[in-house]
Chains A and B, each alone.
Chain A
């Protein structure tokens, strides 16, 4: 158990819909990262938050957004879903962006868009 909790584990939804993925980081970790894993794109960094502030942005679509709340949990919002958004979405947490520590990954949320 990495200490990072993601909910839900599985999500099936229709095209055009909106979903919210939730992540609770390890106790004491201030930095949260979101990654997308798909067969054609591999593991791609989406976005990072540190202590409530956006820290870095990767290949995140405009239809996607995220935030980190005062209690440090984070949510990834995916809207106007398309078939190609079907993927495994991982959240990871670490102490902070300035430390050379590893990121701990959650079990992921498998999103299927039908």
Chain B
């Protein structure tokens, strides 16, 4: 079985500051890793994904994440926070053998201060 741990249920950053959201996963087989964002009263939107190949993955809205197998981590970063980044962010893992169903972390709510 797979699992995901997101460190910090709430993160507060100043506008223009670095955004760093931490995600650690557990999987006995090579995983696919995802970051999704959820704005209030909305569904989940994919920010980026890692399947195979390059371990630094770039996504939408200036976000990127790095897959580190040795650390079982997939942390999400953005160099400069914008007010529109205020939302909840979910890290998720899936494996092909399990039909690619997603196992989500608990989520991190990001507050951006002006």
Contact A105 B100 (CB under 8 A): no
Asked, given contacts A2-B45, A102-B34, whether A50 binds B104 with beta carbons under 8 Å apart, the answer is no
Asked, given contacts A48-B101, A58-B101, whether A105 binds B107 with beta carbons under 8 Å apart, the answer is no
| Cα distance, A45 to B101, chains bound together (Å) | 7
Contact A105 B44 (CB under 8 A): yes
Contact A100 B44 (CB under 8 A): no
Measured as residues with beta carbon below 8 angstroms from the partner, the interface class of chain B is 20 to 34
How many residues of chain A get a CB closer than 8 Å to chain B's CBs? 29
| Cα distance, A51 to B45, chains bound together (Å) | 24
Which residue from chain B places its CB closest to the CB of A50 in the assembled complex? B99
Contact B100 A42 (CB under 8 A): no
> For the complex, is B102 an interface residue (Cβ under 8 Å from A)?
yes
Residues in chain A near residue B98, CB distance under 8 A: 56
Residues in chain B near residue A94, CB distance under 8 A: 100
Asked, given contacts A43-B107, A56-B101, whether A100 binds B51 with beta carbons under 8 Å apart, the answer is yes
> For the complex, is A97 an interface residue (Cβ under 8 Å from B)?
yes
Q: How many A-B residue pairs have CB under 8 A?
A: 60
Contact B106 A42 (CB under 8 A): yes
Residues in chain B near residue A31, CB distance under 8 A: 99-100
B29 to chain A, nearest CB (A): 13
| Cα distance, A65 to B79, chains bound together (Å) | 44
| Cα distance, A53 to B46, chains bound together (Å) | 26
Contact B43 A100 (CB under 8 A): no
Q: Which of B44, B99, B105 contacts A90 (CB 8 A)?
A: B44
Q: Encode contact with A along B89-106: 1 for CB under 8 Å, 0 otherwise.
A: 010000010111111111
Contact B42 A98 (CB under 8 A): no
Asked, given contacts A43-B90, A102-B34, whether A33 binds B43 with beta carbons under 8 Å apart, the answer is no
A94 to chain B, nearest CB (A): 7
Interface residues of A in 38-86 (CB under 8 A from B): 42-45, 48, 50, 55-56, 58
Which residue from chain B places its CB closest to the CB of A102 in the assembled complex? B46
Given A42-B105, A48-B101, A50-B99, list of 8 further CB < 8 A pairs?
A: A35-B102, A43-B90, A90-B44, A92-B44, A97-B99, A99-B100, A104-B46, A107-B43
